[in-house]
Amino acid sequence: MMRLTAFLCGLLLLGTPVGVVAQAPLGLPQDPDAVLVEELVVTAREIGPAWWRVSDGDSTVYVMGVPSVIPKGSGWDPSVLERRLEGANLVILPFNNASVNLLTAPGAVFSLVRLRASAPFEETLEGPLRARFVAARTQAGQEADRYKTRNGMAAALLLVSDYRDAARLTAADPAKTIGRMAAARGVRVEAKTYDAAPLLAAVVRTPAAAQRACVLEALAAVEAGPASAEAAARAWAWGRVREALGGERSYERCIAAAPGAANLDARLKADQTASIVAALRRPGHSIAVVQLRPLLAQGGVLDRLGALGYEIRTPAED
């Protein structure tokens, strides 16, 4: 049976990887965070992950940019974080959680029923494409019955989720570690949760051409292996922002094809921006953790904060 959480992670993880902007695969729209604010893409002066500083008078929010996925157990220097946790008002974690509430549960269940099928997804494929899917889900350590759906986006998102698990790649960290460190010091933690039902409905409504493109994208990610994510994580740990933006974006390119994806992307960024603005109304300092691409893209979190008139300092200036 397909896990609800696997779909939700795929639908909400809208963030990672620069340099040359890759063209969107055939059948998929352009990556929503393809264009970056170049003056924000710098190498950090301090040891460890890069931080941006947003200020307003006597209030500051230190923003750590993080990859959307890193290898489990990745090492990074937390000394700057530990220093900034001292006396912090608040830690804002990435907004990428989803849940089903009582009011919307029937809609979520209906969507899951529509996504399920009596036969494995690979039986809808032919020739080389079917062989590639079988090889990919075998590499991820899964049997055919794991993917009983006729929806290509559902199958693709679940396949990438399973592959990442098998390759020991995680989307939970470093935010999970940061949240635990904040709680241990008595610092309040904020992490917004979104309703899952409309996200599942968007998967159901995704056009067939985009579903197929998502399958191809997922297969390419599995076949390429974890090298790009590993390289991006190493660069992130040393504050090399441009290199840290180089990980694969199979989830993000797929999600961009779902109906309502642009609105969801804008909502996520607006909500993260609003939380930072709220923190800036309180004297002292707070910490925010935002995925690198949504943080640095045109129309992203820092771009929005700059448009509101807040002072922004880059990791090269800090």
Q: Per-residue pLDDT averaged across 44-63, rounded?
A: 95
**Closest by Cα among 174, 153, 203, 162 to 80:** 174
Q: Which residues contact residue 92 at a Cβ distance below 8 angstroms, ignoring those fewer than 6 apart?
A: 61, 190, 191, 272, 275, 276, 279, 286, 287, 288, 289
Q: Which residues contact residue 227 at a Cβ distance below 8 angstroms, ignoring those fewer than 6 apart?
A: none
Most distant CA pair in the chain: distance in Å?
A: 64
106: left (phi over 0), alpha (psi -120 to 50) or beta: alpha
Q: Which residue has the higher pLDDT, 193 or 119?
A: 119
Asked if the model's pLDDT at residue 101 lies above 80, the reply is no
- Write down the pLDDT at residue 31: 74
Instruction: Give yes or no for a cis peptide into 174 (omega within 30° of 0).
Output: yes
For residue 14, with 0-12 CB atoms within 10 Å meaning exposed, 13-18 middle and 19 or more buried, which class applies? Answer: buried
Separation CA 139–CA 133 (nearest Å): 10
pLDDT digits (tens, 9 = 90+) for 102-150: 444 555 555 666 788 899 999 999 999 999 999 999 999 999 999 999 9
Going by pLDDT thresholds of 50, 70 and 90, the confidence category of residue 307 is: very high
User: Are the CB atoms for 200 and 212 separated by under 8 Å?
Assistant: no
Q: Per-residue pLDDT averaged across 35-61, rounded?
A: 94
Q: Per-residue pLDDT averaged across 28-41, rounded?
A: 84
- Write down the pLDDT at residue 244: 95
Strands 51-56 and 59-66: antiparallel
- Write down the pLDDT at residue 34: 84
User: Are the CB atoms for 36 and 292 separated by under 8 Å?
Assistant: no
Question: Which of these ranges, 82-91, 106-115, 137-146, 225-234, has the smallest mean pLDDT?
Answer: 106-115
For residue 106, with 0-12 CB atoms within 10 Å meaning exposed, 13-18 middle and 19 or more buried, which class applies? Answer: exposed
Look-up of token digits 């075998």: 138
Task: Count each helix (H run) and each strand (E run) in the chain, helices first.
Answer: 14, 10
| Token representation of residue 232 | 């991006």
Q: Which residue has the higher pLDDT, 1 or 65?
A: 65
| Token representation of residue 239 | 């504050």
- Write down the pLDDT at residue 172: 87
Asked if the model's pLDDT at residue 13 lies above 50, the reply is no
pLDDT digits (tens, 9 = 90+) for 260-287: 888 888 988 999 999 999 999 999 999 9
